[in-house]
Amino acid sequence: MKAQELIQSGKTAIGIELGSTRIKAVLIDLEGNVLAVGIHDWENSFINGVWTYGMDEIDAGIRGSYSSLRKNVEEKYQVSLTTTGALGVSAMMHGYIAQDKDDKVIAPFQTWRNTNTQASADVLTELFDFNIPLRWSIAHLYQRILDGEEHVKDLAYVATLAAYIHRKLTGKHVIGIGDASGMFPIDSEKLDYDQGMVDKFDALIKDKNYSWKLRDIFPKVLCAGDDAGTLTAEGAAYLDESGTLKAGIPVCAPEGDAGTGMVATNSVGPRTGNVSAGTSTFAMLVMEKSLSKMYREIDMVTTPSGYPVAMSHANNGTSDLNAWVRLFGEFSALMGQQADPGKLYEKLYTNSLEGDVDCGGLLAYGYYSGENVTMINEGRLAFLRTPNSNFNLKNFMRVHLYTSLGAVKMGMDILMKDEKMKVDRIMGHGGFFKTAGVGQRYLAAAVNAPVTVMDTASEGGAWGIALLAAFLLREDKSQSLEDYLEKKIFSELSGSTIEATPEEVEGFERFMDRYKAGLAVEKAAIAAMDW
């Protein structure tokens, strides 16, 4: 069938992902081919010590991305987007959105970027004997309790961003298991929150005499392919300002960006791994066996179907790198040469390949916010060099690309060197890999393993959640997500694989020696720079 016929007959799926700086909507056919894309750019704010987005910004953002998609369909195919076979929403994992019984948001939305939960995370980690990272929803909830915040007694719903929007669309307070694994520890045998830990938490707060227990306020856990509700008339009106989208569309369980990254790279089965690199950077390895011990640097999450995953998550990725590229764009304009942003990235990234394999002794930290892997709870941006460093443009760009992977590599070293985890393939996706052969080569050097980037990698998590929506429509309902992706979606997709040279691997290790040593400078900058 032609694209127009597929769109008009609803033989498509829509995925919308709310990332840190961009909300992206993707329309695909049921083979996974991208038919149209919608974009809405946004940015978080730091208000009263909290990284947040306004609830009005969330509403405007998701509507803006869908409106952009709808207009793209009309322009490309001269048809109206009135229905689809299924749709899904994903977003940045973790964080804290609190609502009362009347659906009123009763506390500022705290995103994953916040590191104001150290006391809570420490208590819960000891209580559960399980690493609770600072950005997890349960850490945010308990910190609000420790801080004596008045709103906690009125809680009726606690959600991630994806689960919050899903309830706006369907009325269902549910969550995909991958996103749920960033709220609270998961029992991968029962595919649900770990009941023993739920009981421990409820006992911990019993003396507060709240009217709720944890399961009353947290969303119900669902796996990929489960019934998560349908788009209501109110949900359709919320999403589509034009009023042309019809209600009744099946909606898949809301997922986090880690889960959609796994789907987008076909990294959902044991011995597969992927690295998602953008505003934040995280590496995920699907496990064959449990880790030998608990590590505060490693998160335990799951795939959208419930397999346990060890994750090294860095709060900071390419934000500082992007800021430097914008600065070079300003310089170019000042000199009378208005540079195309895409071309600017391509030229700067590609030129970095000619730099020294250890960045010539340069060092940088793109810490916009605290970094859990390095146990630093605030961020300062830093670029450092010595008088004998080889300071030039190619090394300057190379070090900012390297440092985007610095924290996540420290976690990966625990998994691959200390725990000796085996992976058959590592896939890369996200904006970091958009310039062919650059970020991919640096990641290969960082992990000392071949790295594959699919031709679809730049579509990222929005494509991943669209695939999870399409999975609802599979003919054989007993087919696993792993089998569906392998046979239906990825069997004919192409990509490229790069393996770093021994010299590049050694060079990245020398950079990492400086990176670890220089953390003392980053800590001193935090202490000194309080303006």
Q: Which residues contact 136 (CB under 8 A, 6 or more apart)?
A: 94, 121, 182, 183, 184
Calpha distance 528→181 (Å, rounded) = 37
Which residues make Cβ contacts (< 8 Å) with residue 289, sequence separation at least 6? none
Per-residue pLDDT in tens (0 to 9) along the chain, 531 residues: 799 999 999 999 999 999 988 999 999 999 999 999 999 999 999 999 999 999 999 999 999 999 999 999 999 999 999 999 999 999 999 999 999 999 999 999 999 989 899 999 999 999 999 999 999 999 999 999 999 999 999 999 999 999 999 999 999 999 999 999 999 999 999 999 999 999 999 999 999 999 999 999 999 999 999 999 999 999 999 999 999 999 999 999 999 998 998 998 898 988 889 998 888 888 999 998 889 999 989 999 999 999 999 999 898 999 999 999 999 999 999 999 999 999 999 999 999 999 999 999 999 999 998 898 898 989 999 999 999 999 999 999 999 999 999 999 999 999 999 999 988 889 988 889 989 999 999 999 999 989 998 876 556 789 999 999 999 999 999 999 999 999 999 887 778 899 999 999 999 999 999 999 999 999 999 999 987
Q: Radius of gyration over alpha carbons of the chain, in Å?
A: 22
pLDDT at 85: 98
Residue 108, number of CB atoms within 10 A of its CB: 20
Spatial distance between the Cα atoms of 97 and 86, rounded to a whole number of angstroms: 26
Surface-to-core class of residue 505, CB atoms within 10 Å of its CB (0-12 exposed, 13-18 middle, 19+ buried)? middle
Q: What is the dihedral of CA 57, 279, 162, 138, to 10 degrees?
A: -110
Q: What share of the chain is helix, strand, coil (3-state, %, to 5)?
A: 40, 20, 40
The 3-state secondary structure of 337-381, one letter per residue: CCCCHHHHHHHHHHHHCCCCCCHHHCEEEECCCCECCCCECCCCE
Which distant-in-sequence residues (6+ apart) come within 8 Å of 320 by Cβ?
364, 365, 366, 367, 368, 381, 400
> Residue 491 gets which letter from DSSP?
S
Q: Using CA atoms, how far apart are residues 255 and 269, in angstroms rounded to an integer?
A: 17
Count the neighbouring beta carbons within 10 Å of the beta carbon of residue 243.
7
Measure CA 366 to chain center. 18
In terms of phi and psi (left: phi > 0; alpha: psi -120 to 50; beta: otherwise), the region of 306 is left
Q: Is there a contact between 239 and 245 (Cβ–Cβ < 8 Å)?
A: yes
pLDDT at residue 1, rounded to an integer: 73
Tokens 């229905």 locate to 83
**Cα atoms found within 13 Å of the Cα of residue 307, Cβ hemisphere only:** 24
Spatial CA neighbour of 365 closest among 322, 413, 402, 410: 402
Return the structure tokens found at 455.
């031709």
How far apart are the C-alpha atoms of 44 and 63, rounded to whole Å?
17
pLDDT of residue 494: 76
Short-list 461, 531, 503, CA closest to 256: 461
Rounded to the nearest angstrom, the gap between the alpha carbon of residue 498 and the centroid of all alpha carbons in its chain is 24
CA atoms of 252 and 246, how far apart (whole Å): 16
- The candidate with the shortest Cα–Cα distance to 298, out of 279, 316, 285, 307, is 285
pLDDT at 127: 98
At 476 the pLDDT is 94
Instruction: Kindly report the pTM of this predicted structure.
Output: 0.83
> Would you state the pLDDT for residue 201?
98
Q: How far apart are CA 179 and CA 311, in angstroms?
A: 13
- Long-range pairs for 116-121 at CB < 8 Å and ≥24 separation? 116/49, 116/50, 116/143, 117/142, 117/143, 118/377, 119/143, 119/146, 120/145, 120/146
Query: Residue 425: what pLDDT?
Result: 81
pLDDT score recorded for residue 455: 74
pLDDT at 491: 85
Domain ranges of the chain: 319-403+503-528
